[in-house]
A = this chain, B = another copy of it.
Amino acid sequence: MKSTYLKIAAGVFLTSLLGCQTQSINNANEQVAMQLQQQALNSNLAYELVESLTVEVGPRLAGSEQDLVAVQWAESKLHSLGFDKVYKEAVQVPVWHRGEAKASIVAPYPQPLVITALGGSIATPKNGIEASIVRFDSLAALKQASADKVRGKIVFIDHLTERHISGKGYGKSVGGRSRGAVAAAEKGAVAVMIRSIGTDHDRMAHTGMMRYKEGVAKIPAAAMSSPDADLINAMLKRNSNITVNLQLSSQNQGFATSYNVIAEVTGSSKPEEIVLIGAHLDSWDEGTGAIDDGAGVGIVAAAGKLIQDLPTKPARTIRVVLYAAEEVGLVGGKAYAKAHQAELDNHYIAAESDFGAGRIYQVDFRASESAYPQLLALSAPMTNNGVVLGTNKASGGPDVSMLPAQGVPVASLRQDGTDYFDYHHTPNDTLDKIEPAALKQNVAAYAQFAYLMAQSTIDLRPIVAK
């Protein structure tokens, strides 16, 4: 904390060296930033947008019918908000159909299990796969195991997800979900079932994407709820031989067209330069996609709208990007980076809101070493909104995470994610999990961030190495 303050102080000092003209510009920026904060805290727009999206569209899995309903919804909403430009860009997205998911313990103590198919999983045969389970603490432990122990079995990866404001526990446990099927299949397993990547104790399983690998057998993959994982552990204490039946009817169904939906506030003096604030429009299919990522959609659209409505537009263009198909592999983000390759040099900075609706407690950047203290000084008005000025190590959010490799600076507006993984990727991702006041604070932070960046005279490049 102390070093952060020193850095801020240093930044303020450097800025003051730039003289009176900069100072008066900064004062003007600060004034607008304060005004944006007030307007954001007085506006219910973000909540109204999430409410509308979750009620009128609901679940919108990439490539599904509802995904296109969401695209229409987004275009129509952004138009109605009066942005200078609204357009969409086609993205080819994989189509996966969930089907039914059932599992039960067959022996020694027959009981049903509450599970969900992992996104991308193949089906089991119709009557299921019935096999003994072999338990591992983590993906790493599975990788170290001898194939003899695994062959012919259902691998159970039992990795607990730690609760943390930053959500850092997710990064530690999610490998079992995304790469568990490959690691298990490489040792001859017939299926993989994981303890849900979540911090709750609800009897609800957390879905999420998994991947196969060319040349490795594809095996079905599912997640069980935390109480079900506890149940299996309790049985394993009594008997090491537990037989499970797993039935999935999931299907990969090729590709479909979806869209990144984009709105812009045209910059007043440098319209070709872009400050990108994004979120993703798609969601998993079991909840209504309120916290993941209806909240982000509401936040960045409402923040953009506040800037659209300013009497004087900022220098750069604000581009609000609602990405397609984030959940199924950052598909919209990758497509955007490719489609806008020629324009990436003109991307001043980018940030995505995709971590629920908790308050933003910190803003991190990834810019050049010399720009960083100046960025902190410029961002000082954000501290009035409860945002601490953080590090120069931002990743920017999933759909902009590929931009730093192309030289684009990014920022992470870090949200309190203490309970995010209680609901993430479950049927419990519904509107009631959003606190309207926290959502307003997010809008204020994004509006301030976008405005200040669009007005900035700092050269952010070249960004620091990771």
Contact = CB atoms under 8 A, between A and B. Distances in A.
Most buried by B among A202, A231, A428: A202
Interface in A226-263: 226-227, 230-231, 234-235, 238
Interface in A23-59: 51, 54-59
A231 B288 contact: yes
A201 B234 CA distance: 28
A203 B428 contact: yes
Interface in A412-466: 426-428, 430-433
Interface in A296-329: none
A227 B432 contact: yes
B227 A431 contact: yes
A185 interface: no
A419 to B, nearest CB: 12
A235 B55 CA distance: 7
Interface in A104-125: 109-112, 114
B59 A112 contact: yes
A278 interface: no
Contacts of A114: 427
A198 interface: no
B58 A203 contact: no
Interface string A7-27: 000000000000000000000
A235 B52 CA distance: 10
Contacts of A409: none
Contact of A432 (B57, B204, B226, B430): B226
A287 B203 contact: yes
A112 B112 CA distance: 23
A203 B288 CA distance: 10
A438 to B, nearest CB: 16
A159 B31 CA distance: 48
Nearest to A227: B430
A264 B225 CA distance: 39
Contacts of A426: 203
A114 B202 CA distance: 15
A51 B230 CA distance: 11
Nearest to A234: B55
Contacts of A288: 111, 227, 231
B203 A111 contact: no
A168 to B, nearest CB: 23
Nearest to A433: B201
A204 B201 contact: no
B51 A234 contact: yes
B201 A57 contact: no
**4 tightest A-B contacts by CB?**
A227-B430, A58-B111, A203-B427, A55-B234
22 contacts: A54-B231, A55-B109, A55-B235, A56-B238, A57-B109, A58-B110, A59-B111, A114-B427, A201-B432, A203-B204, A203-B426, A203-B427, A203-B428, A203-B430, A225-B427, A226-B432, A227-B288, A227-B430, A227-B432, A230-B432, A231-B431, A234-B431
Given A202-B202, A227-B432, 11 more contacts: A51-B234, A57-B109, A59-B111, A59-B112, A66-B110, A111-B288, A203-B426, A204-B204, A227-B288, A227-B430, A227-B431
